[in-house]
A and B are shown apart, each in its own frame.
Chain A
Amino acid sequence: MRLLSQDRPGHWLLAILLAAILLALAGAPFLLPGTKALAVAARILIFIVLAASYDLLLGYTGIVSFAQTTFFGLGAYGVAIALTGGSGWLALILGAAAGIAVSVALALAMALLSLRVRAIFFSMITLALARFVQVLASEWRGLTGGEDGLTFSVPRLIAPGFHPFAAPILGLRITGPVIAYYLIFAVTLAAFLILLRIVNSPFGRVLQAIRENPFRAEALGYRTIVHRALASVLAAGFAALAGAMMAMQLRYTNPDTTLSFSLMIDILLMVVIGGMGTLYGAALGATVMVMAQYYLQPLLAALAAAAQGIVLLPALLDPERWLLWLGLIFVLVVTFFPAGIAGSLRARANAAARAPRT
């Protein structure tokens, strides 16, 4: 429990879901062999960090920013540029560190310049920044490779051609990407536990106070601009870390995979579906979203094939219409879990815990 910063999931169903996600991700290369499954599992891990970092801003502090993918992209491009120019672990680590440093500096500048303005204007400024960096990445071809992006090779230990063991272990042939996966797994787990610690620290409590009532927080003596700036900086740093892992895992980086606005919407949905201000919700939302993006189409194809001959159904289940079904899932989740999955489950458990005392 101390590892979880005494922040229990709070509801048995939530605890089971999270444990299942953790176990499945821990064993993914062995449970679901194949490059696609490994890529999906790695993507879930990376988006858990990205969504959790966004939850720190949106769910805990109540700051609506549209620049979270910007920092994600800066982390990815840091690694990509470093591994295009150089090679090896040192380049990878320096690239990631540079991406994180630039993100942190940019987030700090933006926070200090614009957090004083009203929330809606701050959101617009983040939107402008996101667009600016996106255009910069597309146009500055000499550095970023433009729309095509950068393709690079990663250190040998995590490269596809690397086979450290002659024989399979537990039925799995260990390759570079499997090692890369476990590196990402370890970093994600550590990042998530650190974020969990931060939100349950005295500082995290102030962030919640700012979300609930910034005027009252100031009247208590909290200089909320400093707390909000620090939250922005932390969120940017973790997002850049996620971006660095993304570059390392994909071995290429382009504006579409790291800076696109649709990616920003995905993160927003992950946090909202999972439950804002719970952190566990970010993990849940990232898992649900990435799974849906990768497996809803094949699932629909299978269902459509099974429904052949029935009126209208095959047309509705056409894999091309997967976004329609994804939308339907969102509507259902938001209707039945208004505070997100984790948020609503927790609220129920809390109400039940208090009930006997009323």
Chain B
Amino acid sequence: MGAAMEANAAVLRTEALSVRFGGEVAVDRVSAAFFPGTLTAIVGPNGAGKTTFFNLISGQIRASAGEVWLKDERITPLSVPARARRGLGRAFQLTNLFPGLTVLENIRLAVQAEARRDFRLLSLAADHHDLNARSAELLETVGLNSRAAFPASALSHGDQRKLEVALLLAMRPDVFMFDEPTAGMSVDEVPPVLALIAAIKRARDKVVLLVEHKMDVIRTLADRVIVLHQGRMVADGAPEAVMALPIVQDAYLGRAGGDGV
């Protein structure tokens, strides 16, 4: 595959993407293209800029320099909701839900956003049966149907993570960005979530980005690994090859590998 062809097929592309906080460069000229059906793991020690890189792509942080392209549209100047509406889906590292609303309402908000029904002022939310059915389906998918009536704040940490994943699924994005989706989950909660991510990848038409510390997760799921170190992309390639690189051994496994596994 030639470079030009790759650029055309890429759903998401960053071009020398950089951000500075004060004097510190948090993400430093990262250029990468992401292709459908590919799961890319983004690894690196704490503070390497992984979550900041995600924030630059989904728009929570504005780039100091460089560009983000989504399906051949330059989205760098766009707001967070504008990017989301164009197909960028993001799940958050620190659980980021609507704590006072029920689990069902949380899901329904994501489903409703995808259906673009937010300005129906005089219809009842409860009467949008198609949205309700889809919400129920998604709850079933992540195994939260028995918790539908509970406020999100009452869920266990693991269940909140599942709800976070369900919100992302509800958005039907082209790009799925997972930020340590299984962090803090109990051992038996992890496989179903990983299975969901694997299923998205198998659909072939989605880009999946995954910030992850757990080596076994990377080995089973990733088609490609990008290593960030002090904001810079220091390695990019197939998992086995990247993990064997000396720079990765030093930068990642040597120092921070232990705490995440």
Contact partner of B100 (CB less than 8 A), chosen from A200, A205, A212, is A212
A158 at the interface (CB under 8 A from B): no
What is the total of A-B residue contacts with beta carbons within 8 Å?
105
For A206, what are the chain B residues with a Cβ–Cβ distance below 8 Å? 109, 112, 118
Does chain A have a CB within 8 A of B119? yes
Do A202 and B101 touch (CB < 8 A)?
no
Interface size classification for chain A:
20 to 34
Q: A202-B128, A216-B98, A357-B146 are in contact. Are A223 and B82 (CB under 8 A)?
A: yes
Given A205-B105, A223-B79, verify A218-B121 contact (CB < 8 Å): no
Write out, one digit per residue, whether chain B residues 114-142 have a CB within 8 A of any chain A CB (1) or not (0). 10011111111110100000000000000
The answer to whether A222 touches B96, judged by C-beta atoms less than 8 angstroms apart, is no
Chain A 209-234 near chain B by CB (<8 Å), digits 1 or 0: 10111011111111110010010000
Complex Cα–Cα for A215 and B81 (A): 10
Q: Which residues of B contact A221 (CB under 8 A)?
A: 81, 84-85, 113-114, 171
> Is A197 an interface residue, CB under 8 A from the partner?
yes
- Which residue on chain B has the smallest CB distance to residue A277? B100
Which of B24-48 touch A at CB < 8 Å?
Answer: none
Q: Is B167 an interface residue (CB 8 A)?
A: yes
A residues in contact with B120, CB < 8 Å? 201-203
A60 to chain B, nearest CB (A): 11
When distances are taken between beta carbons in the complex, the residues of chain A under 8 Å from B63 are none
Q: Is B229 an interface residue (CB 8 A)?
A: no
A221 and B84 CA atoms in complex are apart in Å by: 5
* Contact A201–B121 (Cβ < 8 Å): yes
Whether A219 lies near B150 (C-beta < 8 A) is: no
- Establish whether residues A215 and B113, one from each chain, have CB atoms under 8 Å apart when the complex forms: no
Interface contact B124-A217, CB-CB below 8 Å: no
Nearest CB of chain B from residue A55's CB, rounded to whole Å: 15
Cβ contact of A220, chosen from B60, B113, B122, B123, cutoff 8 A: B113
A205/B125 in contact, CB under 8 A: yes
Tell me if B121 and A198 are in contact (CB < 8 A). Answer: yes
Bound CA–CA A6/B82 (angstroms): 33
- A278 lies within 8 A of chain B by Cβ: no
Q: A205-B108, A222-B118 are in contact. Are A212 and B98 (CB under 8 A)?
A: yes
Question: In the complex, which residues of chain A have a beta carbon less than 8 angstroms from the beta carbon of B99?
Answer: 212-213
CB pairs A–B below 8 angstroms (26 shown): A197-B122, A198-B121, A201-B121, A201-B124, A202-B117, A202-B118, A202-B120, A203-B118, A205-B109, A205-B112, A206-B109, A206-B112, A211-B100, A213-B96, A213-B99, A215-B60, A215-B96, A216-B97, A218-B79, A220-B81, A220-B109, A221-B81, A221-B114, A223-B79, A224-B81, A353-B149
Additional A-B contacts beyond A202-B123, A206-B112, A209-B98 (12; CB < 8 A): A197-B122, A202-B112, A202-B118, A205-B125, A212-B98, A212-B99, A213-B97, A219-B81, A219-B96, A220-B113, A220-B167, A223-B81
Residues of B within 8 A of A (CB): 58, 60, 79-82, 84-85, 90, 92, 96-101, 105, 108-110, 112-114, 117-126, 128, 146, 149-150, 167, 171
